[in-house]
Chains A and B, each alone.
Chain A
Amino acid sequence: MPVLSDLPVRDPADEPFIRLSNIRKTYPGVVALSDFSMEVRAGEVIGIVGENGAGKSTLMKILGGVTQPDQGLIEVDGLAHDAFTVEDSMKAGIAFVHQELNLFDNLDVAANVFIGREPRKNGFLKLIDSKKLNETVQPLLDRLGATFGPTTPVSRLSLAQQQMVEIAKALSIRSRLVILDEPTSSLPLAETGKLLEVIAGLKAQGIAVIFISHRLHEIVEACDRVLVLRDGCLVDTLEGNEINHDTMVRLMVGRDLKVVYASPATARGDVALRANRVRTTAYPHQEIELDLHKGEILGLAGLVGSGRTELARVLFGIDSALGGSILLNGDEIHFASAAEAIEAKVFLVPEDRKGAGLLLDLTIAENVSLPNLRVYVRNLLVSRSRESAQAEKSRDNLDIRAPGVSIRARTLSGGNQQKVVLAKWLAMDPQVIIFDEPTRGIDIGAKSEIYKLMRELSDRGVAVLMISSDMEEVIGVSDRVAVMHEGRISGILARSAASEENILRLAVGKTV
C-alpha cells in the first residue's frame, strides 16, 4: 500500500506516475493489444472507448496485474517492473470498480468498505471494532458527497449509491488511480449525473480516473483525454474539444457510419394493446393509460424505478395488475401467466437477459423451441431434428454468430444472446413485442442489427414497445415516446418532439 502523507493538490502538469510503453499482448491467433502506450497523471480523467474486442479488457487485465504483457514496459513512479503482478498493481494504488457490483447487500456500507480488512478490537475474541470502522468510513463518504451513512444497509441503496460504496472502497486503500469499467451501463439518467459529479470530485482531489463506457456522451462530459482502441491498436488520442461523439464513433468503427435508425416504412395501424387505468405493484395508486399501435415502435422512457418494468411484467402476465384492464385488439384480456400471454402472441424480451431471457445452460436450439415446444413434437416426443432445423433458420435470419445451434447459450456474446431471445419470439409470429432495455451492454454493431430487426417487425405490422434508459436509443429508434414518472405516463411525445430535454423534463415529472 502506498504511503501518502496527505492528499496534496497536484499540479496537473506533474510527471505521469504510471507509464505504459509499447505494450504488446497476443493470444493464440489474436493480437489483443499491440504497441500500446499511455501515461496517467494525477488528477486526470482518461476515457477509453472501443467496440467489444478492441482490447479494453486486455488492457484492464494488464493494469490489474492479472495478465502479463508479452512485450513492453510498465513504469510506476519511474520504476520499471519486469513482471507487473496483482500485488504491484495494488501497491501502485490502482483500484477497480467493475460493472457488476461486488457488494454484500446483507451488510451495511462500512462493513462492505472494509470487508476482509475489518479493524479488530484487542482481546481474546478479536471482535470487529465497529466504532473505528464507522469513523474511518464516514470521511470517505463525505469526500464522495454521499447522502447515506456508514451504517446504511447496502440493500437500501440505489445502484449509483452502491457504486459510490465501491469507490469508497477504492479510496479506503488510498488509491491513486480508480478504474471505472462501464459504471453507467446499469444506471438511470439522474444517477448517471451523480456519478459524473463523483468523478469530478475525485479529479479535484488529485486522483486519476480511467473511465470506460459505451455511452459516449458521458465520455464527452467527463474526460480530459480519450484513448480510442480498435482491434488492439490505439487509433487516436483525443483531447479537449476534439472529444466529440462523431469523431469517437468514426475512430472506433473505422468508418464514418454510425448506428442507422430507419424510419417507419408504413403508417401505424389500429391500437393493438391498450392499458386502461392499469395499476402495478410499483405504484399501487397510480393509473397507467397507454395505447400501443400496430406497426409502430413506442419508446417508453423514464427513470429507473418509474414503474416501466413492472408495467411490462403485467402486460406479459408475469404479475397480475392491481387494477384496470388490458385490451388486446379491443378485447379485454387477463393473462394469469406468461404462458397465456405467449398464446395470445404477446411477447417480452426481458431486461435481465441472463437471468430471465435465456436458459444459459440450454443450447441455442433448446432455447428457441422452449416457449413453443409442442410444435416440435412428433410421436409424443420432442423431435431434435425439427428443433435444430428451426434454430438453423433463426441463426441465418438473425445472423447469430455461433459455431452451431447445439452450443450452450452461455458461451455466446451479449449481442448474440439477445438475438437468441429474439429468435424464440420471431419463430412464433408475434403480434406485440415488448423490449425491456434491449441493447444494454451490447456493442454498437449488434445494437444496429437489433434496431434493424425491431424496425422490420414494426413494418410487418407488429406492435413494438421499447423500454429504454438510453436516451440516444429512445430518440433514435422510437416513432413515439411515452415517458413514465412515478408510476404514471407523464407525457407522450411525437417523434419530432422527442428531444433529450423534453424527455428528461417529463421523466422528472415536469411538463413540456
Chain B
Amino acid sequence: MLKKDIGLLVLIIVVGAVVAIINPRFLSPINIANTANLVGLFGIFAIGQGFVIITGGIELSVGSVIALLGVIFIDLIANQGVPWPVAILLVIIIGFVIGLIHGLLVTRLKLQPFVVTLCGLLIYRGIARFYTHDATAGFPFGVNFPTLEWLLTGRTDFLALATGDSLHSLPLPHSFVFMLALAVVMWFVLHRSVFGRHLYAVGKNEEAARYSGIRTTRVIVSAYIICAVLTAIAAIFFAMYTRSILPSGHGNFYELYAIAAAVLGGFSLRGGEGSIVGVVLGAILLQILQNLVNLLGIPSSLNFAVMGTVILIGAIADQQFARFREQRGRMRSRVSETADG
C-alpha cells in the first residue's frame, strides 16, 4: 500500500467515525449493506476508469454506456426472450466493441480521448433514448428472474456459509463481493503483470515506451476495452438493482464519480500514476459522503456540493504535500547536483 492510500484510508475512518458519532445509524447493518452495495456498483466501473486514466486518457461515456447497455439488457431478457446468460454475454460483447472503437480512435486516428469519449457520451445517450422511444425500460408485471436477481442483487452471509450457520456476520451484497474479487484480480494485473508494467510505462512516457519495444497501441486499446467491459458489467448490475431505467437520466454523471474516485485515489490525469487500492478507497469515500448527506440531515440538494468540496480539499492537500516533498527532495538534490556540477 502506498502512503497516499494510507492517507485516504485514515480519512475514510475519520469521516466514518465522525458520522457514526453524530448519527449511530451509520453503522446499522442495513445502512452498511446499502452503502456497500453502492460501493460495489460504482467501484466496478471506477476500476475500469482507472486503467484508462493511467494511460493518460479519460473515458467520459461511462454514464451513457450504463444507460444504453442497461436498456438493451432489460429489453433482451424481458421482451425478446433471450436467456439471461446469453444476454449478459451479448452486453459484454457490445461493451468490448465500444471500448475497441474508442481505443482505435484514440490510437490509430490520434484523436484526443476527451473528444472521442465526449462524442460517445452524446451518441450512446441518444441511442438509449431512441431505443425505448424515451420511455422507461422495465420488467413487465410478473416477469421474474430469481437466479439472476439473487446473483446480482442478493446478499450472502459468508461467515455463516463457511461455518455452517454456527457463526453469523453481516450479509454482504454480491455487487460488493464481486467488486472486491475484481479488485484483487486487477491488483495483480496492474501491479504485478507484464501488461500492468507496460500500462504504467505508456502512461509515463509513450515515446520512451515505444522505443523500449512496447506495443503502445495494443496497450492503450486494451485499457479502453477493460474500461468498457467493466462498465458493461456494472450496467447489468445497475439494471437489476434499479429494475427500471429512464434512459434520459439513468447513469447521468457516473463517469464523473469514476474520475473523482480515481483522483481521490491518487491517480494523475496526466497518466502513469495510480493504484487499485486507491481507486477502491476513492469509491468508498464517495459513497460515504453521499450517505453522510442523508444521515446528517444536510439538504440532499447539497449532495454534489459536499462531494465537490471534499475532492477539492483532498486535491489541495495532496498538492501541498507533494510540494513539500519536492522541496525537501530539491534541497537534497541541490547538494548532490553541486557535488557533481
- A residues neighboring B (CB under 8 Å): 27-30, 32, 52-53, 56-58, 316, 318, 337-339, 341-343, 348, 350, 352, 355-362, 366-367, 370-374, 377, 380-382, 411, 413, 424
Q: Could you say which residues of chain B place their CB within 8 Å of the CB of A32?
A: 338-339
**Cβ contact within 8 Å between A382 and B339:** no
C-alpha spacing A370/B196, complex, angstroms? 12
For the complex with contacts A27-B338, A370-B213, 11 further pairs of A-B residues with Cβ separation under 8 Å are A32-B339, A52-B340, A53-B340, A318-B210, A338-B211, A352-B207, A359-B201, A362-B201, A371-B212, A382-B192, A382-B197
Across chains A and B, which 8 residue pairs bring their CB atoms closest together, nearest first?
A57-B341, A342-B213, A371-B213, A381-B192, A53-B340, A339-B213, A356-B211, A370-B212
**Least CB distance, A34 to chain B, in whole angstroms:** 13
Q: Could you say which residues of chain A place their CB within 8 Å of the CB of B205?
A: 355, 359-361
**Partner of B197 from A56, A352, A361, A370 at Cβ < 8 Å:** A370
Q: Which residue of B lies closest to A360 (CB)?
A: B205
**Cβ contact within 8 Å between B208 and A358:** yes
**Least CB distance, B201 to chain A, in whole angstroms:** 6
**Chain B CB within 10 Å — which of A27, A355, A359 has the most?**
A359
**Cβ contact within 8 Å between B341 and A53:** yes
C-alpha spacing A259/B194, complex, angstroms? 41
Please count the residue pairs between chain A and chain B whose beta carbons lie under 8 angstroms apart in the complex.
93
**Cβ contact within 8 Å between A373 and B194:** yes
**Least CB distance, B29 to chain A, in whole angstroms:** 37
Q: Which residue of B lies closest to A410 (CB)?
A: B333
**Least CB distance, A297 to chain B, in whole angstroms:** 21
**Partner of B193 from A352, A380, A413 at Cβ < 8 Å:** A380
| Given A358-B208, A374-B194, A381-B188, A57 contacting B214 (CB threshold 8 A) | no
**Cβ contact within 8 Å between A52 and B341:** yes
Secondary structure at the B interface, as helix, strand, loop or mixed, is helix
**Cβ contact within 8 Å between A424 and B192:** no
Q: Which residue of A lies closest to B192 (CB)?
A: A381
Q: Could you say which residues of chain A place their CB within 8 Å of the CB of B340?
A: 52-53, 413
From residue 147 to 205 of chain B, which have CB atoms closer than 8 A to chain A?
188, 192-194, 197-198, 200-201, 204-205
**Cβ contact within 8 Å between B197 and A366:** yes
Q: Could you say which residues of chain A place their CB within 8 Å of the CB of B194?
A: 373-374, 377, 382
C-alpha spacing A352/B192, complex, angstroms? 29
**Partner of A382 from B193, B207, B333 at Cβ < 8 Å:** B193
**Cβ contact within 8 Å between B208 and A357:** yes
**Least CB distance, A436 to chain B, in whole angstroms:** 11
C-alpha spacing A53/B335, complex, angstroms? 12
C-alpha spacing A248/B186, complex, angstroms? 59
Question: B215 at the A/B interface (Cβ < 8 Å)?
Answer: yes
User: Contact mask B279-311 → A, CB, 8 Å, 1/0?
Assistant: 000000000000000000000000000000000
| Given A30-B339, A57-B338, A373 contacting B198 (CB threshold 8 A) | yes
Question: B138 at the A/B interface (Cβ < 8 Å)?
Answer: no
**Cβ contact within 8 Å between A361 and B212:** no
**Cβ contact within 8 Å between B207 and A338:** no
Q: Could you say which residues of chain A place their CB within 8 Å of the CB of B272?
A: 361
Q: Could you say which residues of chain B place their CB within 8 Å of the CB of A57?
A: 337-338, 341
Q: Which residue of A lies closest to B205 (CB)?
A: A359
C-alpha spacing A356/B335, complex, angstroms? 28
Q: Could you say which residues of chain B place their CB within 8 Å of the CB of A373?
A: 194, 197-198
From residue 14 to 35 of chain B, which have CB atoms closer than 8 A to chain A?
none
C-alpha spacing A350/B211, complex, angstroms? 8
**Cβ contact within 8 Å between A338 and B341:** no
C-alpha spacing A122/B212, complex, angstroms? 55
Question: B76 at the A/B interface (Cβ < 8 Å)?
Answer: no
User: Contact mask B322-338 → A, CB, 8 Å, 1/0?
Assistant: 00000000000101011
**Partner of A29 from B193, B211, B339 at Cβ < 8 Å:** B339
Question: B88 at the A/B interface (Cβ < 8 Å)?
Answer: no
Q: Could you say which residues of chain B place their CB within 8 Å of the CB of A362?
A: 200-201, 204
Q: Which residue of B lies closest to A381 (CB)?
A: B192
**Least CB distance, B215 to chain A, in whole angstroms:** 5
**Least CB distance, B232 to chain A, in whole angstroms:** 25
**Least CB distance, B198 to chain A, in whole angstroms:** 7
